[in-house]
A and B are shown apart, each in its own frame.
Chain A
Amino acid sequence: MPARYGMVIDLDRCTGCGNCTVACAVENNIPPGPPGVTDRTGITWMRVYEADNGEGFPETQSAFVPVMCMQCEEHTPCVSVCPQNAVEVDPETGIVGQIPERCLGCRYCMAACPYHARYFNWWDPKWPEGMEKTLNPDVSPRMRGVAEKCNFCHGRLHTAREKAAAAGNAAIDPADYVPACVESCPTQAIVFGDLNDPASEVAKLSRDERAFRFLSRLGTEPKVSYLSSRAWVRSLADRVLARDQKEEARG
């Protein structure tokens, strides 16, 4: 059976430190923002939002929500809209991949993405002198004028496959393929693995009673789930739930 990679993020563990964002940028050769860049024009494949329960002090509670490409499985919005097949779902892994060399830069995929998880290269990628030494040789930098997004550190998957092939194995060792954000999280809030493997931790956690997915009623079947034992955090999943939660809190 082909793999179906997914992720589970425990929001009760996330402290919003941003380590995952930095590790992601370094791993995937995301260039430093040029002068004039804002949080709306910069590239952050993984972005940490802050949410609160809307209550005043001392009932205020916060949660940090790391959001990246949710690797939608059904009616994948970015795949179906791309006019030149620059976005594809890999049937062997379920990973939604971007082909920057084929991208026209029309940004239709960005408009279609419900998670605002796609980014555009508004500038030429530039690394200050000396910083180019930090470039990851396994990942190609993208040029100006194309869209990009999280691909579950596809470069690491290639490396794991090469290692498996060199050892004469057909399948990779799951321990060899861990995305940078998972590896860097100090609270181990992010779990990654094959959702098709019922014994995997990610598969078990995705079925946990605390598990939920954002905007799941859109029907795009995201492969990234979240965990929280707090009802108001789970109600952030969509606006109908959020409204019901608010009404319930008001009595």
Chain B
Amino acid sequence: MYAIGEEIFFYRAGPHDFSCATCHEQSNKRIRLQQLPNLTEHTEVAEAYGSWPAYRMSQGLVRTMGWRLQDCFRQQRWPGLTFGSEVSIALQTYMAVNAAGGVMTAPGLKR
């Protein structure tokens, strides 16, 4: 599952050629004003992964990491990710393993 997650993390597709890695394989970068976690780096992925599920203030709802991934793929211009699908689980496994040993801080607070 981890290996599948890793392959999908770097898989570029769609009209914009975006993969997860487009935004999340470098440290100290931001999109507009939003800081982007480097999900290939232990400390950063531990902080990001450990903060979900999170309360999304703009939506007034608690959202899961599965929801966050679905919204990433929408922004990547990909088709709709199915909740609980193999890709969704594989990417969460990829992050969880990279984050192993980190501290859970959920529920996080997100803009």
Decide whether A and B are members of one complex.
no
Residues of A bordering B, CB below 8 Å: none
